[in-house]
Structure 1
Amino acid sequence: MHGTLYWLYSVGALIVAFVYSYLYLPVFHELQLTSTYEYLELRFSRNVRIMASVLCIINILLYVPIVIYVPALALNQVMDVNLHHITPIITIVCVFYTMLGGMKAVIWTDVLQGVVMLASSLAVIIFGVSHVGGFNNIWQRNIEGGRIRIFEMNPSPFERLTFWSAVTGHTFFILTVASNQPTVQKLLSIPTLSKARVAVYIFFFGMVLLVTVSCFTGLLLFAEYHNCDPLLTKEIAKPDQLLTHYVTTTASYIPGLAGLFVAGVVSAAL
């Protein structure tokens, strides 16, 4: 909806990869803490640790419903299943394999889910590029529509998205993701600091790859619907239904694509 400025998430990811691997990771790895909040108690006080833990719980309670809503929405459009029935099923599946397999299960399922996410995105892109008529058509339509935006250097804080706000905002956001409890716990399960650094670089490379693929998917959708917006024609009710609408209508004749797409969305939620 707002052009390619979102791709600057990748710039923030590259900045955080180096800062995190040489500033944060050595401290966490040397202390070998089981919780990031233990560090806050060692560095400051128990009250700071408790306050940070409470804020984290509130953050998760607000964040998780949004994450689960996305695959529930996709399944609702593809299979016409009630949103409120899908949500608890996804939650139970996640809790079940985590409870049985522990950290090893979480890491292996993360790898598998990452592969499924990437495969589903690439499948949609390969179909879409062919359907629209090639990369040149996609690029040209997005240029004409004003969607190719990177170096918008306006310093105004009142602009919705600029180069500065995108890079700064994404850098701090990714830093919070990289230093949260699940990420730190996974990295501390790696025996040596050097191997943990390699894991950090792989993690951020995967993040950049997925963001790039997601941004290109957005360009593809704009090129497909540049003269016929499904939102304006009332084919969909919300912008976040656009990709699912595309897969279930335009690409509906491709066997298995809708199922692969839903698997990718559910993998992203888990």
Structure 2
Amino acid sequence: ISMILVIPVALKVFYPIYHEMQLTSCYEYLGVRFGRRMRLMGGILYVLQMCFYTSVSVLAPAIALSKATGLNTRLAIILIYLVCVFYSSQGGLKAVVIADTFQAGVLFISMALIVIVGTSYQEGGVEEIFKIAKDNGRLDMFDFNPHPHQRHSVFSVIVGGFFYWTSLLCVNQSTVQKAMSLKSLTKAKIALTLSVFGLVSVFLVNFYTGIMAFAHYENCDPMKSGQIDAIDQLMPFYVMDMFGHIRFFVGIFVAGIFAASLGTVAACLSSLSAVTMEDLLIAGFNVKISPQKGSYYAKWMAVGYGIFSFGLIFLVEGRDVLQATLTLNGLVGGILLGLFSLGIFFKSANVKIHRHIVAYVIEEKTIALKID
């Protein structure tokens, strides 16, 4: 529900502004509205957010691959980074979009197989899965507790989720960059709307696979029995335990998880390069870079950010992957969404201009104006 509520805000408020200004980076808006320093701050916050987010996005599939194949987690992480850094740095945004399209298909096939086969293996089918989930309090969908510390309630999920997804879809360079690469605002709106409904579909399937695994292990918790070391290993363990004997099934499952990770990481690396070039170097520090050199530098920046986020893996390792992702995105995304909303909705909020002389050249004559 919270994702769907974001659509009219994105289509009517944020993206028309981006398209009219023809922005390369969405943080360029902060520079126009509040000055160079705010644009620089927005770019730095985004870089920090995406570097940590990239690390988390790699760690999750590495855990799955390790559990499904016995491959060392660190080796799996290295393999993911090598693939991502190579095609995102060499092919740019076009390679990222083409690869994302293919990876989305792989992810869809993987998820569909788990749902279909998992349901058929459960005695009683869908009805029994939901009955077990309901009897054990897993379908508590109408908790109206208004306390902000309540993690899952109607208010925290819908209201809090609305701001969370608005920050990701409207003021996050990784998303904005893809939408702005389209030729018209109409196409950008269509793509954004389809992506939201695609996200909703993925989440609904994920929720269902969660209660499907819960129904199977209702009387034997793999975590308590010591079969898995962390809750993040539950789904890979479920797939191996239930479908490990089916030829190709585990491979398709691992491919689906890797597809989701590769798409996320590649998009992050590409957007990090764009933000660093446009917001930090050119706008923030007045570094003069030609378009030819800019393309060359962007490739090496993608490599550099890949190496840097790889190092951050060791900071997020051993923590709850999902919680770490949500906390990080909420922390930085909330600040950036607040800045953009302040600029868009409140005309009286302006950058303080110090008294100085501004020179304009009109018809080869220089006219000095004093600005307060």
**TM-score under structure 1 length normalisation:** 0.93
Give the structure 1 partner of residue 90 of structure 2.
Answer: 100
- Deviation for aligned residue 1:88: 2.1
Give the structure 2 partner of residue 171 of structure 1.
Answer: 162
Q: Which one is further off, 209-218 or 80-89? A: 80-89
Show CA shifts across 1:94-144 (max 9, x none): 121112222221111112111211211111111110111211110110110
Match of 1:180 among 172, 193, 218: 172
Give the structure 1 partner of residue 258 of structure 2.
Answer: 266
Q: Which has the larger radius of gyration?
A: 2
Is 2:130 aligned against 1:145?
no
Match of 1:110 among 66, 76, 100: 100
Show CA shifts across 1:158-195 (max 9, x none): 32210100112221121121121121111111111111
Counterpart of 2:152 in structure 1: which amino acid?
A: L
Structure 2 distance, partners of 1:74, 1:150, is 29
Give the structure 1 partner of residue 21 of structure 2.
Answer: 31
Q: Which one is further off, 159-168 or 96-105? A: 96-105
Comparing both chains, which one has the higher relative contact order based on Cα–Cα distances under 8 Å and sequence gaps of 6 or more? 1
Long gaps (5+) in structure 1: 1-10
- Deviation for aligned residue 1:55: 1.0
Structure 1 distance, partners of 2:245, 2:143, is 40
3-state SS of the aligned residue for 2:113?
helix
Give the structure 1 partner of residue 239 of structure 2.
Answer: 247
Match of 1:156 among 140, 147, 152: 147
Structure 2 distance, partners of 1:187, 1:93, is 24
Match of 2:205 among 208, 213, 230: 213
- Deviation for aligned residue 1:228: 0.9
Q: Which one is further off, 169-178 or 257-266? A: 169-178
Show CA shifts across 1:170-221 (max 9, x none): 2112112112112111111111111111111111010000001000011101
Counterpart of 2:102 in structure 1: which amino acid?
A: L
Match of 2:77 among 87, 100, 122: 87
Counterpart of 1:64 in structure 2: which amino acid?
A: T
How does 1:1-20 map onto structure 2 within 5 Å?
Answer: 11-20=1-10
Structure 1 distance, partners of 2:99, 2:8, is 26
Structure 2 distance, partners of 1:60, 1:224, is 36
- In the TM superposition, structure 1's runs of 4+ consecutive aligned residues that sit over 3 Å from their partners are none
Give the structure 1 partner of residue 188 of structure 2.
Answer: 196
Long gaps (5+) in structure 2: 263-372
Q: Which one is further off, 228-237 or 107-116? A: 107-116
Structure 1 distance, partners of 2:49, 2:192, is 23
Show CA shifts across 1:8-36 (max 9, x none): xxx11101112101111100111111111
Match of 1:131 among 121, 135, 145: 121
Counterpart of 1:254 in structure 2: which amino acid?
A: I
Counterpart of 1:76 in structure 2: which amino acid?
A: S
Instruction: Determine what percentage of the aligned residue pairs are the same residue.
Output: 36
